[in-house]
Amino acid sequence: MNILVCIKQVPDMEARFTPNATGTWFEESGLAFRMNDYDEFAVEEAVRLKERLGGEVEVTVLSIGPDRVVETIRKAMAMGCDHGVHVRDDVATDRDPWQIATMIAGYARSRGFGLIFTGMQSLDRGSAQVGVLVAELLGLSCATTVVGFSCDGATATVERELEGGTRAVVRLRLPALLTCQLGLNTPRYPTLPNILKARKRELLVLSPGEVGVEAPLAEASGFSRHERRSTCTVLEGEAGELAGMVVDLLKERTAVLRRGGGR
């Protein structure tokens, strides 16, 4: 069985984002880039499955974007992916989820992957659409927000995280696509011998045209900072009273007291 992992390079979210020249996305200069968190869970799960099954299993990692994404592909390879595919696309950040999904599906269609792992969503765009679109385009079974995974070679059994602190168990026939959520695993830190080996491996470099890209279905038309209007509330009164007021405020204005936490 062969496995595909789709990863995205995203900016470190600590940065202060400003709109780019066209005003449709953020300005990239001065940003630090890294692998999307959820995609790290995807890579880790794929490599773990390969290690469990041993033998013939090979993991291919794919990323779409400009040359900077090679570093992230190499990191995934250092974590244990066997092959790297770079769809070199300087305008990847302008594309909508549909276009990205058609490119991935274009690459994967004839290659017979038994399992495809993606992140649940990206930290920057956050559409959470690419994985499910790829599954639909390829006619695969699909489960999202996966936090537990086992596989016997013909079926996959996954645990999905639902809202409100509940979980569901889903069984899927392979081939299948899974989008990974926080809690699935703790990604490994690559070892130096693997980093050095990954540095030397050849990548398969393809153009959007070679994998096939369709016209966008949605178009970004604006990007701006969300100016948070925070107001300061000063509470006054007895300690006991104050505690009640704080609880009320937390209930009304935040999610911290709701079941399942406030993530």
Q: Which of 22, 155, 191, 254 binds other proteins (CB under 8 A)?
A: 191
**Residue 12 within binding range of other proteins, rule CB under 8 A:** yes
Could you tell me the smallest distance in angstroms from the CB atom of residue 196 to other proteins? 7
Using CB under 8 A as the binding criterion, the count of chain residues that bind other proteins stands at: 17
Q: Which of 73, 190, 206, 211 binds other proteins (CB under 8 A)?
A: 190
Give the nearer residue to other proteins in terms of CB position, either 196 or 249. Answer: 196
Which structure tokens are listed for 155? Answer: 């079926």
Give the nearer residue to other proteins in terms of CB position, either 15 or 70. Answer: 15
* Residues 19-48 within binding reach of other proteins (CB under 8 A): 30-34
**Residue 196 within binding range of other proteins, rule CB under 8 A:** yes
Q: Which of 54, 55, 193, 222 binds other proteins (CB under 8 A)?
A: 193
- Interface residues with other proteins (CB under 8 A)? 12, 14-16, 30-34, 188-193, 195-196
